[in-house]
Amino acid sequence: MAARNPGTDLDLMWVDSVRVNKPAVFKRANEIGTRRGVKKNYQVAWLLKAATCIDLTTLSGDDTITNVQRLCFKAKNPIRRDLLNAVQMQHRGLTVGAVCVYPSRVCDAVNALKQAGAPQIPVASVATGFPAGQTPFKTRLAEIQMAVSDGAKEIDIVINRAYALAGNWKGVYDEVRLFREACGEAHLKTILATGELGTLVNVYKASLVCMMAGADFIKTSTGKEAVNAILPVGLVMVRAIREYYHRTGFKVGFKPAGGIRTAKDSCVWLALMKEELGNDWLTPELFRFGASSLLLDIERQIYHNVTGRYAAANELAMG
């Protein structure tokens, strides 16, 4: 496993030097999105890889202990065992990357994963006033501390968009640095809410600042914005990750979230990671999907590959 990113001092000269060639970004994103296909013989392998990189998520106002338990049992067995046998996987302990819930549901998720016999699957918790991030700073900090004390191994925080939009990068850096300290051993994912940052230049700058502050992952969206994970934004963020790695030697993970619902989508994002960052980033340690419905379509496509037909709704239940 790669060493955690310890962060660096805030380098505003580096941040201010950022330039983004928007037409080139959209051209490259379009190339990846429209010209990258996975041949049938390899498709199942890519889909199984995608499944292991999912943060299986429920972030609804009506979340209950029951639906969190169902999510956790699905996290341990993301693909039906008979389908894994048919593609010669023999189970091999395949699980999703994490289970992601609200702070108030962390204990439920930790206990449910123990009951499912999968305590090794990390529980991720959104925090810091997700999704708006408009609660007082002390409250945001306390939310992290509570989630960690309840057993969360990963914390998904939202950055201060008001600071980012005002160009107050020191403010963003200082807050994220304190959030990282509050996480302790838990890994920190910083949500940029890219659909609210206005420009690709701001996306790149926010990515750099969060990595300088010690983020283990940078994440596109809360899933609650009007525009969530799109390829041009993803490309800008992974290019920032690449530059940060070349300058510091530390690998930071990437998590696209919001709007990724189909197996085809997952293969496109995997292609982006492979081509821009290389095979080292094709692991749950450095790449995650934030998704709730993606897994169902991945399992559906594997079912079709095995049987030659698509499953009825009752054949691929969540639980």
DSSP string computed for the chain: -PPP-------HHHHHT----HHHHHHHHHHHHHH----HHHHHHHHHHHHHTEEEE---TT--HHHHHHHHHHHHS-S-HHHHHHTT---TT---SEEEE-GGGHHHHHHHHHHTT-TTSPEEEEESSTTTT-S-HHHHHHHHHHHHHTT-SEEEEE--HHHHHTT-HHHHHHHHHHHHHHHTTSEEEEE--GGGS-SHHHHHHHHHHHHHTT-SEEE---S-SSS---HHHHHHHHHHHHHHHHHH----EEE-BSS--SHHHHHHHHHHHHHHT-GGGSSTTTB-EEESSHHHHHHHHHHHHHHSSPPPGGGG---
Burial class (CB in 10 A: 0-12, 13-18, 19+), 222: buried
Q: Is 219 a catalytic residue?
A: yes
The single residue of 224, 255, 264, 274 carrying the catalytic annotation is: 255
Provide the CB-side half-sphere exposure for 146 (13 A, CA): 16
The single residue of 74, 189, 219, 251 carrying the catalytic annotation is: 219
* Alpha-carbon gap, residue 24 to 26, rounded angstroms: 5
* Alpha-carbon gap, residue 211 to 286, rounded angstroms: 13
* Alpha-carbon gap, residue 213 to 252, rounded angstroms: 12
CB 157 within 8 A of CB 178: no
The catalytic residue positions are 219, 255
